Chain A
Amino acid sequence: MTVTVLPPGAGEVAAGTTRAALRRNFWRGVWRVLCRKPSRMAGVVIVVGFAVMGVVGPLLYPANLPRDDNALYAAPSLQHPFGTDFEGTDVLALVVTGARYVLLTGLATAVITVALGTAIGLFAGFRRGGWDTALMRLTDLNLAIPGLPLLLVLSTVWKFTSPLSMGLVLGLLGWGGVARAVRSQTLSLRERGFIEAARGLGLPTTHIIGRELLPSMAPYIAMNMLIAVTGAVYAQVGLFFLGVLPFDANNWGVMLNLAVFSGGALTTPAALPYLLAPLIAILLLTLGIVLIVDAMDEIFNPRLREE
């Protein structure tokens, strides 16, 4: 049991065979944490389900979703589990095909946020001194800048509707939190025995950072990556919901906008399923991510664990 408490980096100093054993034990520990609370298993299932939806979802439906003029705002039925929208298109199909855009943006944002934040945090924490001060000032500014209002204002000059450019903007606005967390982790880790030993052995800086520091922080970084996905969903779906970006492709934000501002979903109960479907999708995705982060927290933070 104690084996799982060790950060993966600690396995690096062990000999090759014990390392393999540690890894096996680690995965066994993960499995045990997942099994103890079935809700965590549900989290994994939900997130994997959304990932599959994003990859194969659009392939299940024709490029132009069929419309049915006779069934505008049809009530939920077997044929249309969430009813139809204002043109008679199946709402479930809209949610499924819209997932790819939302998830791609989330992925791009998470990668950029975490890459930038980790690089800046590591550099500042490891170098210290003038670079640290300057980078932390920049981080403070990044954290304090009102992100959503800035995105709205930016949308007047730049139509960042492709998932990648949207991810780039969101990542550039959101790295501050990760940078600060990684820096404080670096500051505390670099005083620890195993880093001092590595430095005493005269190992190169790239080795210390890449093989000793980063693996110890990997869980935090992974958790931050998942949290960044929820932040990205918030911002991108929100921008489309407000209608400040052109509706190039179908996604959940466009659905929300059409449902509320042209469908009158808030005043006519008939249009309610059209509004609720994307809301439920966002809720489920957030729930899945939250459950996984919760499980990771317990795997890597022994203080939270109590038998």
Chain B
Amino acid sequence: MTRAVRERPQGAAIARRVAGHIGRGLVMIWVVATISFFIIREIPGDPVQGMYETLLQKGMSPDQAERATAVLYGFLPTGSLWHQYVDYMWSLLHLDLGQSLSTPGVKVTSLIGSAAQWTVLPVLAGTLLSFLLGVTMGVYAAIKRSGKLGDLLALSGSLLHGVPVYVIGLLLTAIFTTLWPILPAGGPVDVAYVPGFNAGYIGSLVYHAVLPVATYTLASYGGWILAMKSNVVAVLGDDFILAAELRGLRRGFVFRYLARNAILPLFTILALSIGMLFGGSIFIEEIFNYPGLGLLLVNSISTRDYALMGGAFLVITVGIVVANIVADLLYTAIDPRVRSGETA
């Protein structure tokens, strides 16, 4: 009886949180879509209008030309601003992002679909590795904070946290592909292997992923170690740690109390960290010639493929929004205080 009464508000609180997140995420996606719409419209030389007029000159009827342009850009060349905007949003709702200009006849959605895996998997691997590494080192840095080792660890964290990700990537490339060539310089996989579940192909995939994943890891390692260090230092001063020590508990137990309470707040940083890595993917993929979303975005700008540009921008945003929601759900699942709605 009491159980049922207690559980219902919990479920409601979680549902409210998730609904709130999805609502805010949708607003975010809408804002980004609106920004892309206006930017594509304001680009000097108006590519949509230009395409429409070229098609007219080629002898197409205005109707045909309008339809052809709309297919390419997901964008009406004529009509009022409001009309164009509503039409753009309407096709977005149908997951229609138009067609790519640089690879004619291919839908933007399919280009993005094949690029997404090359971004999402390394970002996840980098997040996981840097989390494990940063949390462990953070505990050490907090416990040894008066010694040389602690200082050095904290300094490495601050420095890596502040250094641009392309500096890390370029230095790693310079060291491991030019000065001491033991790792491949770029590309996602050796083309000699047949794609599929065979040892050669997968080994080559992993081999090529070492440097990009190492860069992702080093780029967000700094944030984790700094946050974990300050959390552990804060928890060390708490009464329950003192109580545990006074009770004469073994160091292992005290350590477990410590780590559990210090790790919790880190989950709020998870979303920010993943968002940062998605942004960093632009540089990492450019440096390692890795065919992910970031490279797609940069290439779409240099080839003036604006439909693709808008699409890639939108999908990166969606990725960050989804990461936000997942991070919050994880946090809710782990922290009992959030679950019962004690803290908003």
Residues of A in contact with B (beta carbons under 8 Å apart): 37, 39, 140-141, 143-150, 152-157, 227, 230, 233-234, 237-238, 241-244, 256, 260, 265-269, 272, 275-276, 279, 282-283, 286-287, 289-291, 293-294, 303-304, 306
Stretch from B48-56, B91-99, B172-180 that touches the partner: B172-180
Q: A138 to B317: give the CA distance in the assembly, Å.
A: 17
Cβ–Cβ contact B233 & A304, under 8 A: yes
Cβ–Cβ contact A146 & B39, under 8 A: no
Cβ–Cβ contact B174 & A276, under 8 A: yes
CB-defined contacts of B270 to chain A, threshold 8 Å: none
Q: A260 to B177: give the CA distance in the assembly, Å.
A: 13
Neighbour of A141 across the interface among B31, B154, B162, B233, CB < 8 A: B31
Give the nearest-CB partner of A154 in chain B. B39
* Whole-angstrom distance between the Cβ of B301 and the nearest chain A Cβ: 6
Cβ–Cβ contact B170 & A279, under 8 A: yes
* Whole-angstrom distance between the Cβ of A78 and the nearest chain B Cβ: 23
Give the nearest-CB partner of A231 in chain B. B162
Q: A87 to B27: give the CA distance in the assembly, Å.
A: 50
Q: A73 to B117: give the CA distance in the assembly, Å.
A: 39
Q: A266 to B178: give the CA distance in the assembly, Å.
A: 6
Cβ–Cβ contact B279 & A146, under 8 A: yes
Give the nearest-CB partner of B317 in chain A. A146
Neighbour of B164 across the interface among A152, A153, A155, A234, CB < 8 A: A234
Q: Is B206 part of the contact surface with A, judged by Cβ < 8 Å? A: no
Q: Is B14 part of the contact surface with A, judged by Cβ < 8 Å? A: no
10 CB contacts below 8 A, A to B, read A145-B317, A149-B316, A149-B317, A150-B35, A150-B313, A244-B302, A275-B170, A286-B162, A287-B159, A303-B233
* Whole-angstrom distance between the Cβ of B146 and the nearest chain A Cβ: 6
Give the nearest-CB partner of A307 in chain B. B146
CB-defined contacts of A234 to chain B, threshold 8 Å: 164-165
Q: A295 to B41: give the CA distance in the assembly, Å.
A: 48
Cβ–Cβ contact A153 & B282, under 8 A: no
Interface flags, B14-26, vs A, CB<8A=1, else 0: 0000000000100
Give the nearest-CB partner of B315 in chain A. A149
How many residue pairs between the two chains, A and B, have CB atoms under 8 Å in the bound complex? Answer: 139
Cβ–Cβ contact B167 & A242, under 8 A: no
Task: Decide yes or no: A146 and B302 within 8 Å by CB, A266-B177, A269-B179 being known contacts.
Answer: no
Cβ–Cβ contact A303 & B283, under 8 A: no
CB-defined contacts of B44 to chain A, threshold 8 Å: 157
Neighbour of A256 across the interface among B170, B316, B324, CB < 8 A: B170
Q: Is B36 part of the contact surface with A, judged by Cβ < 8 Å? A: yes
Cβ–Cβ contact A156 & B275, under 8 A: no
Cβ–Cβ contact B282 & A242, under 8 A: yes
Neighbour of A266 across the interface among B155, B167, B185, CB < 8 A: B185
Q: A154 to B301: give the CA distance in the assembly, Å.
A: 10
Give the nearest-CB partner of A147 in chain B. B279
Task: Decide yes or no: A230 and B162 within 8 Å by CB, A244-B301, A269-B179, A279-B170 being known contacts.
Answer: yes
CB-defined contacts of A287 to chain B, threshold 8 Å: 159
Cβ–Cβ contact B163 & A282, under 8 A: yes
* Whole-angstrom distance between the Cβ of B311 and the nearest chain A Cβ: 11
CB-defined contacts of A269 to chain B, threshold 8 Å: 178-179
CB-defined contacts of B165 to chain A, threshold 8 Å: 234
Q: A219 to B339: give the CA distance in the assembly, Å.
A: 35
* Whole-angstrom distance between the Cβ of A296 and the nearest chain B Cβ: 12
